[in-house]
Amino acid sequence: MGNFVLHQNTISYNWCATQLAVFEIFIITEKFMLSAMAYDHYAAICKPLLYIVIMAEKVCWGLVLTP
């Protein structure tokens, strides 16, 4: 914050690359979580009687552990 107030807005290349990589990891993780939630909701709403068969324990763990 001090750099912003003093108009010294410099950041090293390594820190910039690190910040970009961390930001991208968070974005990718969020996209996978949202797609897993969407599939779960689709199965629960569109096929409620087959939900237990579709969302077997193996499938749930696959959705959780898939990066």
Distance CA 38, CA 66 (A): 15
Residue with structure tokens 């914050």?
1
Residue spans of alpha helices (H) in 1-67: 2-5, 13-46, 51-54, 57-65
pLDDT of residue 24: 94
pLDDT of residue 3: 61
Q: Which residues of 9-38 are buried (b: 16+ CB within 10 A; e: fewer)?
A: eeeeeeeeeeeeeeeeeeeeeeeeeeeeee
Average the pLDDT over 37-61 and give the result: 86
What confidence tier does 63 reach under pLDDT thresholds 50, 70, 90?
confident
pTM (whole model) above 0.85: no
pLDDT in tens, 5-40: 666 667 788 888 899 999 999 998 898 888 888 888
